[in-house]
Amino acid sequence: MKVVGHFINGETCTPKGRMQDVHNPATGQAEKLVLLASSQTVNDAVISAQSAFPEWRNTPVSKRARIMFAFKNLLEAHSEEIIALIGAEHGKISHDAAGELQRGIENVEFACAAPQLLKGEHSKNVGPGIDSWSEFQPLGVVAGITPFNFPAMVPLWMFPLALVCGNTFVLKPSERDPSCAIFLAKLLKEAGLPDGVFNVVNGDKEAVDSLLDNERVKAISFVGSTPIAEYIYTRANAAGKRCQALGGAKNHAIVMPDADVDNAVNQLLGAAFGSSGERCMALSVVVAVGNEVADRLVDKLQTAMLGLKVGAFDEASNDFGPVITAQHKDKVEGYITSAEQQGAQIVVDGRQISVAGYEDGFFVGATLIDHVLPQMSSYQAEIFGPVLQVIRVESMQDAMQLIDDHEYGNGTCIFTRDGEAARFFSDNIQVGMVGINVPLPVPVSYHSFGGWKRSLFGDLHAYGPDGVRFYTKRKTITQRWPSSGVREGVSFSFPS
């Protein structure tokens, strides 16, 4: 069985150590093994990055950008291989994996603008013969800890920008789908990145804690569940590191009485069930304003969902694939059962689905639950599966209060034809990313991604302008060259 190891100092390596299975979620079979890094292996990767940092930080920014241009071209040239790796280990359908990769490539394109992004500010003659300017310097060794649901895109949110800013990087991807990260590392080397500048360590909590505690690591970026995000943020801060930790979500869509229901249904299907609902931006709750629009919406959703096709990644006609593990399948189905037991109505039931030829796969069918109440556990939790719940309210104010009361504040949207309602919603809702008739308001690469409340720990969002600020520190220099022969007296007053 193939063993997926690490990538340290420009080479793949497979030191002896603990291993665990990597499953194909569609078949349910273990097809690879992944090495779980020890603290020593993590330290080796960090030392490699630290050793490469002085030369890399002094590499002209234009040269760093050219390497990213070459990397972008290689990503596009090898897109089919990357898509296949994502599908085989995550289960994501090929067209969905292609979309993930494209959004990642867009972040590489943004990073290619580093010469412009890293320009500082300059002020001449702030005082007699005194000039002042600022510049943005790299932090040193930085690390990224990324989730299973986007094995290409989320790492590409992080390391391209960190690298062009002059940092060196250690990536700890999910051990559930580790192969994509190793493939990206090899492409970076082919693009001309010097050895040691980018390293990959596969592992579990031991690897994570080793990165958090290593004094050479200056900053940590994380995407995952809220409990782990809070743990990482707290531990990183205690160690004096800069940290951005993106957590979970419960994303709501308000459907107003004046909405185009047919359009809303089409948008909701993709937003709720794409990638099997395993997205932090998945739209998992519909808040219908009024029973009339709720009844129409549920009826049309039920009809449309009967035509959804679930299966393996390499059949492009499938709409979505399996969830990541057997344990996660049980967890998702448990939330469906709990909603039923607590009084909700299961309109479309995805439990116990069987896919011909893939009977042992980790499949959950598209599920629609009506008459959900805020106190139900299925509403409170991030299910992270293909489950769409409907809550009925009497007014837009009730809908907004429901959203504001939830602990998560990642993404939300409103379906309406009323510009006044849309503007009031976007101005006042307590959520970080807002869509108007757009159910997945994921910012493009030259904006920044991040939620509010317990969906984000830290002050700076991911990628875009905030990413540049996260991976650099500002230095301000004030300079004077006195005129020849001039001697100044001593002054004890504060300069002005």
Q: Which active-site residues does the annotation give?
A: 280
Burial grade of 209 (CB within 10 A; 0-12, 13-18, 19 or more): middle
CA dihedral 170, 184, 163, 103 (to 10 degrees): -120
Residues near 145 by beta carbon (within 8 Å), at least 6 away in sequence: 172, 208, 211, 220, 221, 222, 223, 224, 232
Strands 242-246 and 456-457: antiparallel
Question: What amino acid is encoded at 444 in this protein?
Answer: V
Helix (H) or strand (E) holding 32: strand 29-35
Residues near 35 by beta carbon (within 8 Å), at least 6 away in sequence: 3, 4, 5, 6, 14, 15, 17, 18, 19, 202, 203
| Token pair recorded at residue 144 | 């990224």
CA distance 327 to 148: 14
Q: Please check whether residue 45 is in contact with residue 173, taking contact to mean a CB–CB distance below 8 angstroms.
A: no
